[in-house]
Structures are given as structure tokens and as C-alpha cells.
Amino acid sequence: MRLYFKTALCTLVVIISYIGYQQKFWQDGSLPLDEEQSGLNEQIVIHFSHVVAEDTPKGQAAVKFAELLEEKTDGRIRVVIYPNGMLFNDDSEFDALKNNDVQMIAPTFSKVTKLLPTWQVLDLPFLFENEEDIERILTGPYGEQLLNQLNSFDVRGLGFWHNGFKQMLSTGKPLQKTEDFVGLKIRAMPSNVLQMQFKLLHATPLATSFDEIYEELEKKEIDAQENTISNIYSKGFYKLQKNLTITNHGILGYAVMINEDFFNSLPTNLQNDLIEVMDEVAEWNFEHSKQMNEDNLSRLRDFSGIHIETLSSADKEKWQKVFEPIYTYYEQEINATYLQEIKQLLNK
């Protein structure tokens, strides 16, 4: 019996020593690494979550950002993108960013207005008339002053991206006259200014999260919504809501944000690379977003199942009249200075 134990013990020691020798456990005190993957130790990964499809202005800008940053940093930074709300949705992404569960997000500015009410200035109906003005405001000192407000949440605003002008999409009948809205249930993002638009038109606004719109449309819980052509096209909303009115009544854009502690933990040269790439991508995004919405619109025009009309100038004037109290609300209850400044910049 003793001999048996001795033999078993010796065999065990020989086996362990052999495996140890093979794996070089005690030669350098660390676990073995595949030679080809040795750079992995130094690679920094940014997890970037957003809620829209890849083939949209935001989806494409995120991909461009990942490609250019990886290239510029020689692979030191890798950006992993989670589109379509696969990790976090409208309601959870800001907290996920603050908790560093993801390092970057790019929500629409309308969705941050509960925390930063002044940002509602960008939601004001019929404020912007063309893409050039939008770019000038969002990428200039006015945009910077808005982004700086994020600092109090331990979040750094890196810049703005643009999607496009919002249009109206409806199930029952085309929306043209102000009376067409009476009694409808309309999905709008959770910004008081956006919700007010539809209350003033005697409709009921619903702040459905973006990832739930399709399901609510299927259940016939929403009669209409405001959105950009690229979101309407890429999410297939046009399959369930077949009346599109080109209104250009508001804009939809994104504030690109990074977790502040994570950003500060990066070496200075990588911080600079990230900022430079961000600026480059913002420029690219402003150049391409308009084209993308136009391409998607022409595809929708080719699709016979959808009725498309344009808001007439006469009706536009009536909408503007109905929306006047929204400007008064912003001026009196939110921030008169922000409104005055943006109007000056837009020569209004």
C-alpha cells in the first residue's frame, strides 16, 4: 500500500513538472502569451453604444470614427460598436456611460434635455432652414458652450454629429393641415419642446423609446411620428406607416460623449488623437448625412406603397403660428439668452 502511494505521488510530481516546463510557468512568473497577440496587453478598447442601424448617418460616423482612430493610433485604441440598442437603449445609455459600462455614446440632444433643459433650443420648430446653418452652430462656439454643460455629469462632450431634418410619418391620413393632428397619438422624443408641439396641435405625444417604436406601430398604439428619412428607412417604419409629409420642421442631431474618467486615463497623445479624429469625423458626417437622407428618400419614392407629399407654404405658416407659444416657453422658462444668441447667429 505504501509503495502504491509513493509511486502515485512520484507520477503526479513528474506530470506537474512536465506541464510546468512545457508552459514555462516558473520561467518568467507570468501566464504564457501567444507571440502574435503580445500587443493585446497594451490595447485600449472603447465600447461605443448607440440605438440606430449601422446604415444611417450616426451608424456610419461611428464606423468611420472606429476606423480612423485605430489607424491613427496604430492599433493602440480599438473601438467596438454596439448599434441598434443591442446593449443599452434611450433610457439606459446615459447611466451606462456614467458608470463606464460603455465608454462612448451619441444620443440625440433631445434625449438629454431632462438633464440639460437649455439644449431644447435645438428642438425649436422651424428654427433652422438649411444644413449649413446647422453645421455652423453645432461645430462653433455656440455648440461648444452646450457641450461644456456635460462636464457637471463627469461626461465629456466631444462634438456634435448630424442626422437630418425631421419629417412627419402617419398611419391613417397624410398630415398637412393643423387640423389633421387632432386626437392622434404621436411618438416624439422626451423633450418638452417636442412634446409641446403636438399638444398645441391637440394630439397626444408619447415618448416611446426608439427601440420600441416598431413594436408599438405593430400594435397600432402610435398614429404618427416625427423622424428623419434615414431612420424611417433603416428601421422600416414606412412599412407600417404609409404617409410621409416632407415638413423639415425640426432637426435631429447627436451629442457624442465619452466617460470623463476614462478619457483622463488615456495618455495625452492618445487624447489628442481621439479629439483630432472626432473633428475629422464630424466634418465627414456633415458632408455625408444630407446625401444619405436624400438617397433614402429616393428609394422611398421608388417604393409604390408609400404616399409622399410636401408641406405647402401656406400650411407651414399655420404650423408656425400654432408653435409660437413654444418660443415663449423657452424664452420665459428655460433661457432667454440662449434663444437670443442663436437667433442672432441665424439672422432671425
Using CB under 6 A as the criterion, which residues of the chain lie in contact with ligand SIN when the complex forms? 51-52, 58, 108, 163, 189, 210, 227, 231, 252
Shorter beta-carbon distance to ligand SIN: residue 47 or 166: 166
- Residue 112 burial (C-beta neighbours within 10 Å; 0-12, 13-18, 19+): buried
Least gap, CB of 313 to ligand SIN (angstroms): 27
Contacts of 312 (CB under 8 A, 6+ apart): 176
The residue number whose beta carbon is nearest to ligand SIN equals 210
Least gap, CB of 41 to ligand SIN (angstroms): 35
Shorter beta-carbon distance to ligand SIN: residue 25 or 214: 214
Shorter beta-carbon distance to ligand SIN: residue 51 or 274: 51
Distances (CA, A) of 207 to 44, 91, 192: 36, 11, 10
Q: Which three cell numbers stand for residue 108?
A: 440625440
Least gap, CB of 211 to ligand SIN (angstroms): 9
Alpha-carbon gap, residue 134 to 125, rounded angstroms:
13
**Pairing between strand 104-105 and 243-259?**
antiparallel
Shorter beta-carbon distance to ligand SIN: residue 107 or 143: 107
Alpha-carbon gap, residue 263 to 194, rounded angstroms:
32
Least gap, CB of 235 to ligand SIN (angstroms): 9
Distances (CA, A) of 264 to 68, 156, 230, 258, 283: 20, 10, 35, 10, 24
324-335 in b/e form (b: 16+ CB < 10 A) is: eebbeebeeebe
Least gap, CB of 238 to ligand SIN (angstroms): 14
Q: Which amino acid is at 179?
A: E
Shorter beta-carbon distance to ligand SIN: residue 52 or 339: 52
Shorter beta-carbon distance to ligand SIN: residue 128 or 210: 210
Least gap, CB of 166 to ligand SIN (angstroms): 8
